[in-house]
Amino acid sequence: MPDITIGPGPDVGIDLMDCRHATIPGGRVRAARCYGMGGAEVPYDVDLVVRSDGALEHDGTVYSRPCGAKR
């Protein structure tokens, strides 16, 4: 599975998409413009839940922070 990155600012990297000015309301990542491989530009709306232990859950996979990562 590819990594999920959040930041700096409102930028999110998810599903090999670079999403600028994304929001994460109600367990979803939404962005009017994301850039995929080859430079394709598309809107994106996908699940992303922040769990109580700080891990991220997306598409049935749980992503935890690497050791030493800042909270």
Confidence of residue 70 (pLDDT cuts 50, 70, 90): low
- Cα gap 58→39, rounded to integer Å: 23
Tokens of residue 52, six digits: 């109580």
pLDDT tens, position by position, 41-55: 999 999 999 888 888
Within-domain flag for 58: yes
Domain range for 17 is 5-63
pLDDT of residue 2: 83
Within-domain flag for 69: no
Q: Is residue 63 predicted with pLDDT exceeding 60? A: yes
Contact 56, 62 (CB under 8 A): yes
Within-domain flag for 46: yes
pLDDT of residue 3: 87
The total number of structural domains in the chain stands at: 1
Within-domain flag for 51: yes
Contact 48, 24 (CB under 8 A): yes
Q: Is residue 27 predicted with pLDDT exceeding 70? A: yes
